[in-house]
Structure 1
C-alpha cells in the first residue's frame, strides 16, 4: 500500500474577505508542484463564502465538478438554464464538457455558506454539458460508508469518470473497511470533522490521505466523525 498525506495546516490558503478558502491541491494563487492532485482528482477546495457574496458567472470546460454543502445554502445558476439552491444533505454534480457558464453564490444575506468544491478529470473530453443535484439524506446511513456518486447508476448522481464517492458518519469506535473497485484506482480520504485511524495513520479534521496499490483500507473512528472517500483512477 502506498500513501500520500496532506495535513490540514499545510494546505494552500487565501482570504479575500468575501471568500475564505483552503486548497488541498494547487489552485489559483497556490501552486505546489508536489500537490497537483491525486490521480483523476484534481481540486479539493474548502470554501467559506460571506453572506450575499459568491462566484460570479464564469466558464468551465472538460471537468467534472462536485459541490457538497457543509453549512448554509448555496445558489447555483448556469448556461443550461438550471437555477437551484442546495443545502446540507444535498450534493451538486456538473459535467462541464464542451463548456458551461455558471455562478455559485451564498443564498443567505445573513449567514455564511461553507462547502467543498471538488474537480475530477473526465474520462472523455468534449462531452455534452450536464447538471444534477439531489438529496443524499436517505442514502447516508449511520456507521456505514454510504455511496453517493457512482459511474454505474447505483445512485442518482454520476460523473463522466469511473469514480465512487462515499460519506461516512461514524460514531467513536466504529471500524469499517473500504474495498476499492479497481486495481488501478486509488482512494482519497478527507476528514470533514473528527479524527480517524486510516490504516494506521491518524487523520484529524480537514486532513487528507491518498491510498493506492492496495485492495482495501480500514478506517476506525477515534471520535465521532464525518469522512468523505473519493475513489478515482490513478492513470
Structure 2
C-alpha cells in the first residue's frame, strides 16, 4: 500500500491506495476455464488480498463453449455478473432461467440461500465475464435476480452507473451502499468521479486500454483501490474502458 497527499480541496485527508498489477492476480487454468482472481478465491490465497472493503471477489473468467459451473450454492452475498463478450446461461433452484450477454449486467442477491448454475450459452464461442461479489448490508434477505441491458452510448466519455443502492434509478439495485460505474473514454480525456458516500472507497479495474488515476498509471486488467478521498480523476492515456466499484470500507 502507498499514501499520497491529495489536492488543496482535499487537504484534510490523506488518500490511501493499493495497486494490483494484472500479472499478479491469482490464476487457475482448467482447460474449460481460464480464471484470474484479483482477490483470494478457491485455491488462490494471499493474506494481503482478501478483500477491498465490502468488495470480496473480482474474477475475470473465460469459459469455453458448452462448459460452465454446475449447480452450486450461495448465501448472503451480492453477486454482479458482467459479460465482456459472449453470453452466459443461468438456472436456479426456484425455476429461474435466463441468458445474459455482452452489454447486459446481472445482479443476484443470494440472501438466505440459492443454488444456481452458470454455463456458456454457446457450444462453440468463448464467454469472458467479470463476476464480482460484495458483502451485503442486510443478511438473509429474500433471494432475487435482476438483469438489464445498458447502452454503449450511455458510457462514452462519461460514467454510466450500472449498480446502485437506490431502487428508483436506471441502475440495478443491490443490497449494499455500493455504486458500480462503467466508462469508455477516448485517448486524452480527463474525467472526475465524485464519491457518493463518505467512508466509501473505489476500486478501479481497467477492462481495456491504459489510464492514469490520480497520477497512478494503470494498464489493461490492472486494479487500483483508493480510499480516504472525496473524488478521483481518471485520464485516458489511450482509448480505454474502465469499471469503477465504490464500496463501503468498513
Q: Could you tell me the TM-score, scaled by structure 1's length? A: 0.98
- The separation in 1 between residues aligned to 2:246 and 2:155, in whole angstroms, is 19
- The separation in 2 between residues aligned to 1:114 and 1:209, in whole angstroms, is 21
The runs of 5 or more residues in structure 1 that have no matched partner are none
Contact 1:139-1:147 at 8 Å conserved across structures: no
- CA offset at residue 139 of structure 1? 7.0
Aligned to 1:90: 104
1:71 to 68, 71, 85: 85
1:159 to 2:174 alignment:
yes
Contact 2:161-2:171 at 8 Å conserved across structures: no
The runs of 5 or more residues in structure 2 that have no matched partner are 1-14
Contact 1:140-1:147 at 8 Å conserved across structures: no
SS of residue paired to 1:140: helix
1:59 to 2:73 alignment:
yes
User: Which is further off, 148-157 or 53-62?
Assistant: 148-157
1:190-226 CA deviation, whole Å, 9 max, x = no partner? 0000000100000000000001000000000001010
1:132 to 2:130 alignment:
no
Contact 2:201-2:246 at 8 Å conserved across structures: yes
- The separation in 2 between residues aligned to 1:57 and 1:141, in whole angstroms, is 34
Aligned to 1:103: 117
- The separation in 1 between residues aligned to 2:198 and 2:172, in whole angstroms, is 23
SS of residue paired to 2:198: coil
Distance 1:58 1:118, change over 3 A: same
- Counting matched residue pairs gives 235
- CA offset at residue 141 of structure 1? 2.8
Q: Could you tell me the TM-score, scaled by structure 2's length? A: 0.92
- CA offset at residue 78 of structure 1? 0.9
1:121-178 CA deviation, whole Å, 9 max, x = no partner? 0001111101001101177331001111111122241111010000000000110000
- The separation in 1 between residues aligned to 2:18 and 2:94, in whole angstroms, is 38
Structure 1 moving runs of 4+ over 6 Å: none
Task: Give the number of the structure whose alpha-carbon radius of gyration is greater.
Answer: 2
1:232 to 2:247 alignment:
yes
- The separation in 1 between residues aligned to 2:189 and 2:153, in whole angstroms, is 19
How much is the aligned-residue C-alpha RMSD, in angstroms? Answer: 0.9
1:196 to 211, 224, 244: 211
Contact 1:77-1:83 at 8 Å conserved across structures: yes
Contact 1:140-1:167 at 8 Å conserved across structures: no
Contact 1:186-1:212 at 8 Å conserved across structures: yes
- The separation in 2 between residues aligned to 1:39 and 1:139, in whole angstroms, is 31
Aligned to 1:34: 48
1:209 to 2:224 alignment:
yes
Contact 1:97-1:125 at 8 Å conserved across structures: yes
